[in-house]
Amino acid sequence: MSSDPIEIAWEGKWIQAKRQGTWEFVSRARGIKATVIVAIDDDDHVLLVDQYRVPLGKRCLELPAGLIGDEHDTDTVESAARRELEEETGYTCAEVVDLGEFYASPGMVSESFYLVRATGLSKIGEGGGVAEEDINVHRVPMADIPAFVAQKRAEGFAVDVKMLLLLASDLLKP
């Protein structure tokens, strides 16, 4: 563990580039966290989204997700998950269960996300995100996830690492 102080090399509205000794990493500004939503309906379909991601230069297949505390000071993991689920997918949910905090790339990014499970889904709108987002919603049977991901990959989509949660049992088969 380094005793060197953490220096901010660069800071924008949403991220900071930091240095501690010779180690460089990125973090969210202002301590903002994220929530990632596994939304499974009563018919065993999961809600997925895809949207254009500037850092990748292409659309990315993902679980619905969003920031906690970016624009809402009173945000909780649950309230942010409910808001983002509705904004991105057009669904509300009866229950949100916090499954814990996770780190996607801890060697270079300090950002964490809270994984939640949303159940008791009801469609109330089209979703698609807020004005500057261009989100497509997919309701996919759990059994079809591997084929759906392969199809999207063949179409040139990136696949978010958190999709491994839904692919694990298929990927781990001998």
Residue 117 designated active-site: no
Nearest to 167 by CA among 63, 77, 28: 63
Q: Which of 104, 133, 143, 168 is catalytic?
A: 133
Q: Which of 34, 39, 59, 65 is catalytic?
A: 65
Residue 9 designated active-site: no
Which residues, at least 6 apart from 53, have a Cβ–Cβ distance to it below 8 Å? 59, 60, 158
Q: Which of 28, 80, 81, 88 is catalytic?
A: 88
Q: Which of 17, 19, 53, 111 is catalytic?
A: 53
Q: Which of 39, 80, 84, 118 is catalytic?
A: 84
Residue 132 designated active-site: no
- Burial classification of residue 64, based on how many CB atoms lie within 10 Å of its CB (0-12 exposed, 13-18 middle, 19 or more buried): buried
Which residue in this structure is represented by tokens 């309906």?
41
Residue 53 designated active-site: yes
Residue 65 designated active-site: yes
Tell me the catalytic residues.
53, 65, 84, 88, 133
